Amino acid sequence: MSDEQKKLEDLLKQLQLNNGNGPKINAEPVRGTNDFKFWKTQPVTSLEEEVTEEGPIDKPKKPEDISDKTLPMLAEFEWTTVDIEDNEQLEDVFVLLNENYVEDRDSEFRFNYTKEFFKWALKCPGWNKDWNVGVRVKNTGKLIAFISAIPVTLRVRSNIIKSVEINFLCVHKQLRAKRLAPVLIKEITRRVNKTDIWQALYTGGAILPSPIATCRYTHRPLNWNKLCDVGFTALPSNSTNAEMVAKYTLPKVTATPGLRVMEEKDIEETLRLFNRYQERFELVQNFTKEEFHHWFLGGLDSTSSKDSNVIYSYVIEDKDGKITDFFSFYSLPFSILNHSVHKDLGIGYLFYYASDADFNYAERYNEEATSKLKKRLDLIIRDACILANNSKMDVFNALTSQDNALFLDDLKFGSGDGFLNFYLFNYKAFPIHGGLLSNKSNDVEKRSNLGIVML
């Protein structure tokens, strides 16, 4: 037996003994693979390539041209199609991601996914059970890797693309040297291709070949004392905790007249408003009525308390009964790994929104149109922060995408250390502005041309 095989055998024994409770070791955030040798074999734009024409990279194929067989796998492991409708298998995904997915570099915080979140994120209309791909240890059945895809219809400028979103790529920390990530990507690609879909959208914090857009995370503190106590944020020099609490304190009551929770009856009108608003952006997801219902009303848990909700959606109705605005945010908490008091951090993420504030202007960047939209977004996103705070969230996150740069500074969102890169698989596209200037500050003047939000 070689030294490498012996090490792997010892590791597999350790995984069996740990039974899902492996040692906490430092690990860099991983949501993909940095192996450029792998990406050079894939239909993606290279980092140094200048795109001269938009469109698919590979020549068109047919599903029958794609192998029916799963890719070869290391002898110690085996492929599995994870049945997310089976509670035990969903629990396997839950444990894997909660223990091995993205952490901060100091290993202090980690996403704390809930089963309700997975059901919302993975069971959208048209979802395919074969697109929840896992790898298990043969001897124990332990799930040690996972990747998923969901169907989406993308619009890249004027081109409509039948596509998938790839998400939740996760390999057990102690097996990341085994090159499983590239094999997972190739296997999910094979399964998606068998359904006659050839393009994909995915995101990651790492620079891979080649981002079409880059956004920055921003954070609006809601519970300053807790954020400072757990090390999520630091006390600025020459400031006191009392001053920071005062700076970020929000009222308990929202200010927008006509603001209410979105209901079933609002779906069609809100979708029309949303579609018109989305016309200004260069990369968006086109929603059917069924998809819109799922993403904005489908994350509600009717069997338990409101605190277990995943998605929070609201509309603003004027005195004539017309819906003029809509906004949404979702809940994805953090686990706090090494704190004696606090064990979790409530996180709200700004999702999609729309407003008719500038619809009467033909030019998006018209000074008066911009002023009206900015004033409106300042009001409704401030109310979103209030509602998130009232729902026991400790911080409210937003990217620099959409028209967010108009309100980020006014509403006291601070720029974070994290950046999110957007990628298209098997599709060349001209760069799309992600709302950042060359110095990585918010581009308040031009905002962003990216209108899609991925979980």
Q: Are 41 and 204 in contact (CB under 8 A)?
A: no
- Sign (positive/negative) of CA torsion 199, 201, 205, 209? positive
C-alpha distances (whole Å) from 209 to each of 37, 130, 257, 417, 445 are: 11, 27, 46, 21, 28
| Of 100, 140, 138, nearest in space to 17 by CA | 140
Query: Any idea which residue has 């001209």 for tokens?
Result: 430
Q: Are 169 and 31 in contact (CB under 8 A)?
A: yes
> Is beta strand 395-399 parallel, antiparallel or unpaired with respect to 143-156?
unpaired
DSSP 171-185: E-GGGGGG-HHHHHH
Q: Residue 430: what are its φ and ψ, rounded to 5°?
A: -65, 150
Distance CA 309, CA 120 (A): 10
Q: Are 326 and 354 in contact (CB under 8 A)?
A: yes
Q: Are 175 and 145 in contact (CB under 8 A)?
A: yes
Q: Are 214 and 421 in contact (CB under 8 A)?
A: yes
Burial of 187 (0-12, 13-18, 19+ CB in 10 A): middle
Give CA 13 to chain center in angstroms. 34
C-alpha distances (whole Å) from 355 to each of 260, 274, 277, 359, 408 are: 15, 8, 7, 8, 17
> Is beta strand 395-399 parallel, antiparallel or unpaired with respect to 347-355?
parallel
For the chain, how long is the longest CA-to-CA vector?
Answer: 78
Residues with catalytic function: 455
The residue type at 357? A
| Of 421, 451, 447, nearest in space to 435 by CA | 447
Alpha helices (H) along 288-446? 289-297, 367-390
Q: Are 157 and 54 in contact (CB under 8 A)?
A: yes
- ∠ CA 330-401-363 to the nearest 5 degrees? 125
